[in-house]
Structure 1
């Protein structure tokens, strides 16, 4: 066989543009139908062993027909989704997506720009979306912001700015050069990404003071004051308090006003982890309670939750734009900016975060907000919160179910109970209820443990959910619970 010269090897463009166009039409038709009829599918399906074995194949050595590759996708991947596009997905805190945003992903990846540097339209779309994020939360126009992969990256970026603001020498000399151990505060219900962030930015997890919560799972302000006093007395340097607006366990909102006042008193950075609940500020019922988001030094929140942007997309806003830029800005010779040409334009996004390579994340937000408008999203958020209250009332009115904490936003935590069972049996029973709901494709709640009680956790951030879905969940929990009780002979 004659060896081809390298310059004779065909590139990655299609051999037959008409065939690839027809395949694209087929994909669009299939995906629109899939989403249109998703409610007829089970909420989740177990992956068969033969499908798992399929993904142990070695790397392909030679080209395959694109149509056959797509058929493989339809056979082995599409039938086994996580399920967060389904109306009865209520596990964790995960948004549902939209068809327009799915189309926007095709448009963005076709353009395929690196959206951190250069004079091109995607940079201006990114800037506009960050501006819209500030307007959503009524944050100052002069603040800076950056789009990131999600709340975890937004939180670590915000805490980096907070650390550098209180320790300006850290970029030059590192954290070990600082004379005092820096410490930050959050509640014991705060997301684990805050602890990871402390480890990554060099403070260590022992620097994170996890303050106990009250009966509503909110940070206990008196305990927070005591811990700050103890740390000051011991020679530590408190630098930041992280407040949560919607904990992932129960949806609890920390006392923002009191935390803000403590930050002012002790000159601490006021950071908000609003990954789940910051956008609840758009619901009139929560606007006042979440008003102090506007006073935070930084706020992290997700757009792939209640804004239903496809994964993944989060945002960090920082009130002090100069402090934000000073934490990351660096300009090597190969990134010099010019007044004109491709290297002109806006300030590099790389000056506000770690990444120098980013896709066109902003387009899916831009298109969704253009199509639906922020008032539509506000109404959907309010609807989810009302649905949670509705489910909470169903649970409270049942003799076989027990509400484990008041419903704050859109999270409902409850148990199936039995008067003849001890707590260990009740916990196992509820774990089995959740698994059977999932395995039977009825619904996908998740679980958590509250004060030793294993509970069914329903988190409604789903624009497809209707009240009858919650009615069905309520009935099935009781039905499956009674089946298990019968099986174990209680």
Structure 2
């Protein structure tokens, strides 16, 4: 079996696929944003072919492309106002193709030194942008924010409890506790469960009307837990909450973390990109005091999923947390001052994640990203303005391009938001979601796409107004 195929076959496939992908990329806006969720039809398409027989190459590709065309929410569409799933910029798509073709082995530095040093360079540059001291920056690319948050929890345990790596949780004198809020990403709770800390280790602190952690309530809880003999070790705050875009009081969080000897982790998976735009960067004042930061390039930096980062100001904590010796690993660089990535991360074998960020920066630079973030923020401001002018009420307070809203006449009627959301999605003209803000079931629209313009924003508000009229009939 020739897995390479031959040259003529490859050229035919390349030509066909590139033309099809270019057509999709250039004309995404002409598609319906969301498909009909026909479970039977979707499964029938996925199971169309038996693997007992070979499918001709072009036919196989057509089958896959048809499946993605018909049965996917088209997140690259400029009228997708949903989760943090952006349209991928073109050089980042090329980067994934290059990475898949070269398929560098990223566990050992000596097998792919260029790739390893590219990622180190990027982590240093982003750490510097977040305000970490240059000589203390360390980090690792991750599969996404969930892995980065898990890495933060493990790093905090190893920093706060020096014997943790050897004795585990059973060796600790008291119950370790971490602190977050209801607005904190659920991956933190999952990380607590995964590491064996359990749900009992998670303290959920109330939020104020701006969806920010109540720092007074945090301190009350810390005093209580300490008095009861527990061991507080980690404070997780958010810079750009998934639902509302809220940013916790970072300077005050840093002060409390120092006062009570807590590892301060800032989940800036989405909002961290604000440091690249001078007009937004002041919103993240205080993030430089964090012990670690989660940042996802596959959100506001518009690269394909997944491209997460864990950044820290503690130069040796990743080594202490993850160093493992394996006799079979390559040793060509044994006498060099390098770091083998597999000793520095939860992961072992993985993709060259950083290339999509590196190539994007080579094409567009920091200024290119600043312009894109500024444009999306302007579109978010336009969306909020048009919603208010049309009688909708906003229920979140953020400078980021996220709007949580409903008609104030129906704010106590959860069925209203659900019905409006259903109508919008089923129209195929746009995609929005629902998010609970306080006691209000709100609609949520977020500018995730650098190609979203005033037209798509205006069309969405007109669609929402029409759906509201349909509800009132």
- TM-score (norm. length: structure 1): 0.92
Q: Which residue of 2 aligns with 1:36?
A: 26
Q: Which residue of 2 aligns with 1:259?
A: 253
Q: 2:294 aligns with which of 289, 293, 300?
A: 300
1:156-195 mapped onto 2 (5 Å cutoff): 156-195=150-189
**Residues 246 and 397 of structure 2 are in contact (CA less than 8 Å); yes or no, is this contact kept in structure 1?**
no
The 3 A distance-change label for structure 1 pair 132 and 206 is same
Q: Which residue of 1 aligns with 2:115?
A: 122
SS at match of 1:394: helix
What is the Cα deviation at residue 135 of structure 1?
3.5
Structure 1 range deviating more: 299-308 or 354-363: 354-363
The 3 A distance-change label for structure 1 pair 345 and 13 is farther
Query: Does residue 409 of the first structure (1) align with residue 400 of the second (2)?
Result: yes
**Residues 281 and 291 of structure 1 are in contact (CA less than 8 Å); yes or no, is this contact kept in structure 2?**
no
Aligned mates of 1:134, 1:336 — CA distance in 2: 29
**Residues 95 and 308 of structure 1 are in contact (CA less than 8 Å); yes or no, is this contact kept in structure 2?**
yes
Aligned mates of 2:337, 2:358 — CA distance in 1: 20
**Residues 96 and 305 of structure 1 are in contact (CA less than 8 Å); yes or no, is this contact kept in structure 2?**
no
1:296-445 mapped onto 2 (5 Å cutoff): 296-335=290-329, 337-339=331-333, 346-399=338-391, 401-418=392-409, 423-424=412-413, 427-445=414-432
What is the Cα deviation at residue 169 of structure 1?
1.2
The two structures, once aligned, show a CA RMSD in angstroms of 1.8
**Residues 82 and 448 of structure 2 are in contact (CA less than 8 Å); yes or no, is this contact kept in structure 1?**
no
What is the Cα deviation at residue 454 of structure 1?
1.3
The 3 A distance-change label for structure 1 pair 364 and 475 is same
C-alpha deviations, 1:379-438, integer Å up to 9, x for none? 211222222222212222233x222233431110111344xx6823xx212211112211
Q: Which residue of 2 aligns with 1:202?
A: 196
Whichever of the two has the greater Rg, that structure is 1
What is the Cα deviation at residue 201 of structure 1?
1.6
What is the Cα deviation at residue 332 of structure 1?
1.9
Q: Which residue of 2 aligns with 1:3?
A: none
Q: 2:142 aligns with which of 148, 151, 160?
A: 148
What is the Cα deviation at residue 71 of structure 1?
1.5
What is the Cα deviation at residue 118 of structure 1?
3.7
For structure 2, list consecutive stretches of 5 or more residues without a partner in the other structure. none
Aligned mates of 1:173, 1:61 — CA distance in 2: 51
SS at match of 1:478: helix
Q: 1:93 aligns with which of 84, 87, 108?
A: 84
Structure 1 range deviating more: 113-122 or 323-332: 113-122
C-alpha deviations, 1:328-367, integer Å up to 9, x for none? 0011211263447xx9783111122111111121211111
SS at match of 2:322: coil
Aligned mates of 2:37, 2:254 — CA distance in 1: 48
Query: Does residue 237 of the first structure (1) align with residue 231 of the second (2)?
Result: yes
Deviating above 3 A after TM superposition, structure 1's stretches of 4 or more consecutive aligned residues are 56-59, 343-346
Aligned mates of 2:263, 2:344 — CA distance in 1: 18
SS at match of 2:93: helix
Q: Which residue of 2 aligns with 1:7?
A: none
What is the Cα deviation at residue 218 of structure 1?
0.3
Q: Which residue of 2 aligns with 1:78?
A: 69
The 3 A distance-change label for structure 1 pair 13 and 95 is same
**Residues 392 and 407 of structure 1 are in contact (CA less than 8 Å); yes or no, is this contact kept in structure 2?**
no
Q: 1:138 aligns with which of 121, 131, 153?
A: 131
Count of residues paired in the alignment: 469
Aligned mates of 1:237, 1:286 — CA distance in 2: 36
**Residues 91 and 359 of structure 2 are in contact (CA less than 8 Å); yes or no, is this contact kept in structure 1?**
yes
1:54-65 mapped onto 2 (5 Å cutoff): 54-56=45-47, 60-65=51-56
The 3 A distance-change label for structure 1 pair 391 and 477 is same
